[in-house]
Amino acid sequence: MKILGENDRLPLGSTVATIGMFDGVHLGHVTLVDFLKQQALQQSKQSLVITFLHHPRQVLRPDEPFRLIMPLDQRLKQIEALGPDLLLAIDFTTDLAKLDSSQFIELLRDRYGVSMLVTGYNHRFGHNRGETFKDYCRHGEQLGVKVVRAPEYLGPYAPVSSTIVRGLIAAGRVVDAMHCMGRPHVIRGKVVHGFHNGRGLGFPTANVGEMDPQILLPHNGAYAVLAHVGGQVLQGMANIGRRPTLDNGDQLSIEVNLFDFEDDIYGEEISLEFISFLRLEFKMCGLEELKRQLSLDRDNAKRILNEYLANH
């Protein structure tokens, strides 16, 4: 696969393309890119996936809070794994947003050699969002670009969309989100110093900080996780929340207890794969109740993670 730059130009009529944000690179996107590759192969042309450097909502409505499922580098890596011939990430600008669908198709034709545009099953593009797929086909016919719609993903976890996946993660339903994406939701950061309460309880934790503020966090609570740190993959349980039992204030923290692991990893990069939700965060009566609950959480997490690893 070749990664293009935004200033690259491709020969007229040389590509079959699709365009979208591809946030989460879920199973619907897999269906779309598979169909794209089939169409390109049938026409002896190159398959081209075009994505955006920034989400359109972040550009058009910068004051509204909005979180992404994954950062750009991870998104490009996952798209690359789907095997298109070409991958291009372009900057979504206010000028681009002003183009209507006909102007947008013309731009794709002239700049990136698009002879066929494959749209996602429910995808909309162009300034006039009231237009239908029939309008896109009509514009394409006038411009010499065939517009076709990819089949809808109809697998066991349909319907799937980035909006649905985002909602599942925000609700803590990380198992359902994993089924929709075909992989766990991941957050990345660095191990930083925290309150050091866990060691006194017999559950030492690594505090995860320096995270990308654009990336969506699961709902507050405890989770079974796989941690990637220092070249190792470790089982653990993570808590997202404000530690109400310990009265550490209102600052949100992400702490992970790594099972059977005592190494000093302060300053190390760490990635957490969220495998399963364990429980909501709640204030307990005291430290003894907290320790009992953490023991139950650990046993539950180990069972879940061992079962997950046995099947993956």
38-47 pLDDT, tens per residue? 999 999 999 9
Is the model's pLDDT at 194 over the cut of 70?
Answer: no
Per the model's pLDDT, the better-predicted residue between 227 and 121 turns out to be 227
Picking from 298, 302, 305, 297, the residue whose alpha carbon sits closest to that of residue 273 is: 305
pLDDT in tens, 172-182: 999 999 999 99
Band (pLDDT 50/70/90 cuts) for residue 53 is very high
Given this model, what pLDDT does residue 131 score? 84
User: Over 80: is that where the pLDDT of 307 sits?
Assistant: yes
pLDDT at 270 over 60: yes
DSSP assigned state of 199: H
- Write down the pLDDT at residue 65: 87
pLDDT over 60 (residue 12): yes
For residue 17, the cross-strand partners are 48, 117
- pTM value > 0.85: yes
Q: What is the mean predicted confidence (pLDDT) over 69-78?
A: 97
Mean pLDDT, rounded, for 292-297: 92
**Angle 107-112-115 (CA atoms, 0-180°, nearest 5)?**
85
pLDDT digits (tens, 9 = 90+) for 214-257: 999 999 999 999 999 999 999 999 999 876 555 555 678 899 99
d(CA 22, CA 1): 17
| Separation between Cα atoms, residue 99 and residue 78, nearest integer Å | 28
CA distance 106 to 139: 9
Q: Which two tokens stand for residue 58?
A: 């972040």
DSSP bridge partners of 191: 208
In this structure, are residues 218 and 240 in contact, taking their beta carbons and an 8 Å threshold? yes
Higher pLDDT, 263 or 196: 263
Predicted pLDDT at 244: 55
Mean pLDDT, rounded, of the chain:
91
Rg (CA), the chain: 23
Say yes or no to pLDDT of 153 above 90.
yes
Task: Quote the percentage of the chain above a pLDDT of 90.
Answer: 74
| pLDDT confidence of residue 110 | 97
C-alpha–C-alpha distance, residues 59 and 68, integer Å: 13
pLDDT of residue 54: 92
Confidence band, pLDDT 50/70/90 cuts, at residue 130: confident
97 vs 238 pLDDT, higher one: 238
C-alpha distance from residue 118 to each of 78, 114, 162, 181, 310 (Å): 19, 10, 18, 21, 38
Task: Lowest mean pLDDT of 7-11, 14-18, 131-135, name the range.
Answer: 131-135
3-state secondary structure of 225: strand
**Angle, CA of 7, 9 and 11, to the nearest 5°:** 175
Q: Kindly state the DSSP code that residue 218 receives in the 8-state scheme.
A: P
Phi and psi of 108, rounded to 5°? -65, -40
